[in-house]
Structure 1
């Protein structure tokens, strides 16, 4: 009797439990319902639309350039990154969501803000150094040059107060006079045209010698000899100072800036950022313009202050918030809290200077100059003619800290959406063209299964759209051209998951299995590959998002989001649909499915008969 080999033994039929597809479809529908309801609620129950980026809807693009007076070395990379983070925090505090703030080159920071309601001045202010200094007022005088220009005649103005005013010491006035005797020579006068030209260019920064040469030796000597307002005979000699640029004015000694009436507050206010930043020197600064006539608010003047070195700095402030003046509830003030060390410094300053004016200087401007009425330590108030937005901006600047280096606004450009819209249309066409190509390929190669690919891509689209719109309304995610490129690239990644799955089904059916048996076996072997590929794609997107800047981060975010949606769609839609199709006989028909089957191997008896 012939022995029965393993090949001759009858195979046991393994009863595989059918996958219950209803829970998967229910879960997918539940996710869709949550996403769409949330997106509708976030858009005010209107059809949700994604928040478009600068390149798609237009906005403002500002370039800030680091300015280091007297140094040709660019700031370090650490300094620029610290400045970028502070500027980004300031932009976010203005209510602008998802701005693009990135370092360009070695000394530029680019701020891109999308939208058509952006306040350009508020955007410019985010690049201010926000250096706070508390300085005792040595002297003050009204600067009426603006009034004189408007009225074409001299208008007398009253000084704010004489309390605490002191005359400059002989030491402070003699030091610059010594420089004057050595500097303004005939040789320097001959070179003045060349020096003035250099000072007026962007490539060569002026020096103090250039400034003395530009105004001439007589004007330089007269200016440095001043310890009070000039008399009528001296005024004509000082006329050249009115022709100086703000950068040239910033190089002059503080008493010269203060006592020369031809040096206006307009010149002083437009000095380079950080012109009065150094705390241990005497400086001159102006207050914000005040109205000279109630009936004509356009007629304004400012006060010019000669200020002592600062002993209390912005770094001594721990927090700042906005409040209302107790005497005038319509007036906004900024309440400042000092650190332990700052409180000690502030207490010493108020103790030693009772009944004197203390100027609160922010960058190049005197915000306010109140008189010290009593000794205080832990806190103080900064008052001024603030609007609510200005007070909040000042508080934010103090809370976020000053910039580690100073910046000048190089350019502020209005970006129109025309080019972006054209590119968006091109990107959407590329996405549609890619979808069509993927669908046609799958229809030719997989036939019936191509409709499963199309359905899965549509399901991914229905999930992605409300997700992007919801993230735009909740966290300010903006859709940019780079993000659209990420979604286009994700089409190929999503199609890879389908191809891996379908090819495994083909291999199983080519080995003699029916679709009912091949699909679950292929899924068990394929899902690990799909998850591994998705993990690699997610890891790449995360690393790219962390390390990249600007538009590249939008690409990385879109790629990562698409990968997550791809995995969800494959698990909750593609595989359940494939399982559902095995309940019929469609997948077993090669002409319809493209999944070619192979005849099962013959048994031993059949082979013997053959």
Structure 2
């Protein structure tokens, strides 16, 4: 005998799902009242329009702007826009070296200023490094002293008035700095307070675009948000870099190592400046992190290396080594090359643009979705009759969850729904309906084997869930690959496809299956009404059906002859031993021992009742009785 299965509680699962949906929609409703949330998702540029800015980059050195510089400038602008929370922005280059930035909706003035501001590179000394999270500097209150023998009834002493907290001073502790690495001069109380309060885990502090006063201390984050810095004044400008490249390191003997490095070369002025910097940093080798220098691009630290002991670089050629990979080394080299040719962005035009597809296309997309949904509903009702209503209810729940998640992401993460995203939602209707069909067909297969509906639901679920999970896993992996490899609006399609695949799993496990467990115990579905979609006779079930407690129903009996209570009791209290299903051969395949015995008795009774009676056998008893009477 197999061990008893864990008792299932479908009502509890449905309650948990209802709480989840209520919390999701309730959060959005609360956000519309007390925050900036909206009852509808934000739309992308192709559906809503937005602001378009055309920038003309100009090299400060007067040289021609190369395509590589344009690419680096686009990367800087994209990082700024993405970090500011604006999604689905389009940043492209046009002929003539122009950069076109299209921002959906009504972007804030701060976001527009980030696009207009030119990016700069500079080298600054490192004065302090800290963890990316804010530092709590609130003083711990001193414990109040008590005097033994104080009268409790005595009035409390009136506290002395205290002066209001003063703003941290920005005055240096000394008249002039000894070197650009003089922390005592540059780290004033105001700078320290700014450093303590800075939160580099907040994406808003990673937008860049703030380069700071070149002659003062500068507080900023690393580009990846992993650390925060206090930096000294600018010592070398990015324009002093003549070239930067990445590759495998080379030893003094000319042998190639397996370590990826970045090589920098400065021009003549930069060589002199870098010699002075490395000479001073060597004198600070014993006081880290003041022996480090930071490479700052667009106001964020992209690297902060230290010097090897005893090394003073006088030829203007430096090699940066560390835990680089091929990709990270190439990325740093590209960023340094961008610093070698700083660009100034001239705003050529700034205007509002209409939606490239507009509300008409959105309406057509939604209409296509409704038509597809209607066809799925019609098919479900024709194929599964009343059982199709479970499909309709499941699709409604999936729609509520999808709407809630997308709207919540629009509010909290700046997500915007594009037309390809709408296409992903339409495709999801078929994916979700496919999961229900797999489950229902498994239940029907169990009914064809002669099981009751309650038992068929449990057995069908055990088989169907593996198929559903495998199918959804393939769809989800496809969405991930498409999102990673695709660019532009195609990623919107991949995102909604992956999101709806996850929601499909939630709906099937937390709604469809529990609902089937509940309706299987009802008279309409449990007794196989002809309109239920689960009529065993229409499904080709065997002529004799076991209904529990050693009772069977023949194929000629009506469904009402099999009490659903007995069937439910049997399925919950009897442990089944599955065997191979066979058409004949004395097996009664797929039935328990009790089922086979009951079926055999019923078959014998039916055979005895239908067998023809021989006339000679009928006369013998009468003859015997006559002869007995004569004697």
Normalized against structure 2, the TM-score is what? Answer: 0.49
Aligned to 1:52: 43
CA offset digits 1:8-30 (Å, max 9, x no partner)? xxxx9999777322111111011
Cα RMSD after superposing both structures: 4.4
- Does the 8 Å contact 1:42/1:470 carry over to 2? no
Which deviations, in whole Å up to 9, do the C-alpha atoms of 1:577-600 show, x marking residues without a partner?
111110013234353122342343
Q: In the TM superposition, what are the counterparts of 1:82-93 in structure 2 within 5 Å?
A: 82-92=72-82
Q: How far apart in 2 are the matches of 1:123 and 1:345?
A: 27
| 2:28 pairs with 1:39 | yes
Note closer, same or farther for the CA distance 1:552–1:62 as it changes in structure 2 (3 Å cut).
farther
Q: Which residue of 2 aligns with 1:130?
A: 120
Partner of residue 116 from structure 1, selected from 106, 113, 119: 106
Deviations 1:117-137 (A, max 9, x none): 555993684473435699xxx
1:482 deviation in Å? 1.7
How do 1:177-256 and structure 2 match up within 5 A? none
The answer as to 2:524 corresponding to 1:582 is no
- How far did residue 336 of structure 1 move? 4.4
What is the aligned partner in structure 1 of residue 532 from structure 2?
A: 593
How big is the shift at 1:518? 0.9
Matched residue, 1:223: none
- Deviations along 1:73-117, one digit per CA (max 9) or x if unpaired, are 7439xx83x544421222246x55225245579988653311235
Aligned runs of 1:500-539 on 2, under 5 Å? 500-539=438-477
Decide whether aligned partners of structure 1 residues 542 and 120 sit closer, same or farther in structure 2, where only a CA change above 3 A counts: same
| 1:432 paired residue number | 370
TM-score (norm 1): 0.50
Give the match's secondary structure for 1:60: strand
The alignment covers a number of residue pairs equal to: 358
C-alpha distance 117-86 of structure 1, shift in aligned 2 (>3 A): closer
Distance 1:341 1:18, change over 3 A: closer
Matches within 5 A, 1:548-559: 548-559=486-497
Distance 1:64 1:579, change over 3 A: farther
Whether 2:87 is the aligned partner of 1:98: answer: yes
Aligned-pair CA distance for 1:565: 1.2
Between the aligned partners of 1:102 and 1:575, the Cα distance in structure 2 is: 46
Q: Deviations over 1:45-94 (max 9, x none)?
A: 57622122222222023466888887797439xx83x544421222246x
CA contact (8 A) 2:217 2:232 kept: no
Question: Which stretch shifts more, 436-445 or 525-534?
Answer: 525-534
Which stretch shifts more, 19-28 or 56-65?
Answer: 56-65
Point out where structure 1 has 5 or more consecutive residues left out of the alignment. Answer: 1-11, 135-311, 313-317, 324-331, 348-376, 379-394
Instruction: Please tell me whether the aligned partners of residues 506 and 596 of structure 1 are also in contact (alpha carbons under 8 angstroms).
Output: no
Task: Give the 5 Å matches for 1:433-472.
Answer: 433-472=371-410
Any conservation in 2 of the 1:50–1:479 contact (CA below 8 Å)? yes
d(CA) in 2 for partners of 1:346, 1:103: 31
Given that residues 90 and 396 in structure 1 are in contact (C-alpha distance below 8 angstroms), is that contact kept between their aligned partners in structure 2?
no
Judged with a 3 Å threshold, the aligned counterparts in structure 2 of structure 1 residues 26 and 124 are, in CA distance, closer, same or farther, namely closer
State the alpha-carbon separation in 2 of the partners of residues 600 and 15 from structure 1. 27
CA–CA distance in structure 2, aligned partners of residues 528 and 83 of structure 1: 49
Maintained 8 Å contact 2:38/2:411: no
1:565 aligns with 2:503: yes
Mapping for residues 300-339 of structure 1, pairs under 5 Å: 334=213, 335-337=216-218
Partner of 1:586, secondary structure, is helix
Q: Distance in 2 between matches of 1:18 and 1:534?
A: 27
Determine if contact 1:24/1:576 at 8 Å carries over to the other structure.
Answer: yes
* Secondary structure in 1 matching 2:361: helix
CA contact (8 A) 1:90 1:400 kept: no
Change (3 A) 1:123 1:486: farther
Corresponding residue of 2:299: 398
Shift in CA distance, 477/437, structure 1 to aligned 2, threshold 3 Å:
same
* Structure 2: distance between partners of 1:409 and 1:73: 19
Task: Find the structure with the greater CA-based Rg.
Answer: 2
Q: SS state of the match for residue 387, structure 2?
A: helix
Q: 1:185-211 deviations in whole A, cap 9, x for unaligned?
A: xxxxxxxxxxxxxxxxxxxxxxxxxxx
- Verify the 8 A CA contact 1:531 1:567 in the aligned structure 2: yes
How far the C-alpha of 1:415 sits from its partner, in A, is: 2.1
Change (3 A) 1:87 1:47: closer
* Aligned with residue 25 of structure 1, among 10, 14, 29: 14
Which secondary structure does the structure 2 equivalent of 1:43 belong to? helix
Structure 1 residues 111 and 499, CA, compared in 2 at 3 Å: closer, same or farther? farther
Higher relative contact order (CA 8 A, sep 6+): 1
Residue 484 of structure 2 is aligned with which of 534, 541, 546?
546
Label 1:333 to 1:132 Cα distance change in 2 as closer, same or farther (>3 A): closer
Q: Residue 217 of structure 2 contacts residue 233 of structure 2 at CA under 8 Å; is this kept in 1?
A: no
Contact 2:41 2:416 (C-alpha < 8 Å) held by counterparts: yes
